[in-house]
Amino acid sequence: MINIHSKIFIAGHNGMLGSSILRILKKKGYKNLITIDRKKLDLTNQALVKKFFKIKKPHAVIIAAAKVGGIRANMDYPVSFINDNLQIQTNLITSSFENKVEKLILFGSSCIYPKNLKKPIKENQILTGVLEKTNESYSIAKIAGIKLIEAFNKQYKTNYICLMPCNLFGPNDNYDLKNSHFLPALIRKIFTASKKNKIVKLWGTGKPLREILYVDEVAEACEFFLKKKNYYSLINIGSSIEMSIKDYAYKIRDKIDPKVLIKFDNNFKLDGVKRKKLDTSLAKRNGWKAKMNFSKVLDKTIEDYINSQR
């Protein structure tokens, strides 16, 4: 089984999730962590990935690398979101199998579930309905990755798993307004408004409900499941925090500058799905549960963004 001496390759270690996993594993004493920058290894290049695996021979692989973005980016660049993610996942998963990797963890996203599920979403509800159009390409690519590891587990008895987190936030997030997710976008827009005219205009109606989770919680879940023999190919990773986007906006506003006036453009086409709440009972039965204090980690995240602007 995987331990602190195992060679572990973290794909995507410079991103928000990957950097958190790297930080948490180092903190816990893992000695042989393998990382490589995108400029030195193009994960969409099958030949280069195969060569890298033959040289490094990792015992475990964590796939935190992905082409990601918010609603606008998904709508504008569907080819990139489906093509890049399909290639990255397939190259890493097949190279892991060819090199007898003992444990593989792929990270998905709650957007892969059907859009009209109102109750907390269970893992077995994947592919039971229509996907949300605004991120369909990304969702299809991620579903393909999940089904690929499920197929390897079924056919070859591998120890691969997909952890499915809800909306993540935290240090090293992407604050680009064209590519970021909703919470970092809110932080940036409200902070900018606090320095200018004290008015911020936000996309959509603000009514959709979103579950969020601090990125270090997911890194802790990754380390927890890294050491376990899995009997499921897909496990949801979520929290107890679920509010409307409007409520998140006001909480962030109150922490940054209570004088900022918030207005929504009420364009319902930019709302996305109305609710994305995960059922995390399977994770709990396996021994994992989120522990985050939302107010404290939101403070840390806002501080991280403010420091990045200095």
Instruction: Identify the pLDDT of residue 276.
Output: 85
Distances (CA, A) of 290 to 69, 240, 287, 306: 24, 8, 10, 26
- Model confidence at 284, pLDDT cuts 50, 70, 90, reads very high
- Model confidence at 135, pLDDT cuts 50, 70, 90, reads confident
Whether residue 238 has pLDDT greater than 80: yes
Query: Could you report the per-residue pLDDT of 21-57, keeping only the tens digit for each?
Result: 999 999 999 999 999 999 999 999 999 999 999 999 9
Asked whether the whole model's pTM tops 0.75, one would answer yes
Whether residue 81 has pLDDT greater than 90: yes
Query: Span 114-120, mean pLDDT?
Result: 85
Whether residue 270 has pLDDT greater than 80: no
What whole-number distance in Å separates Cα of residue 250 and Cα of residue 233? Answer: 38
Q: What domains are there in the chain, each with its CATH number?
A: 7-173+212-240+276-292 (3.40.50.720)
CB within 8 Å of 9: residues ≥ 6 apart = 34, 35, 56, 58, 60, 61, 62
Catalytic (active site) residue 138: yes
Q: Among 30, 138, 160, 250, which one carries the catalytic annotation? A: 138
Q: What is the CA radius of gyration of the chain?
A: 19
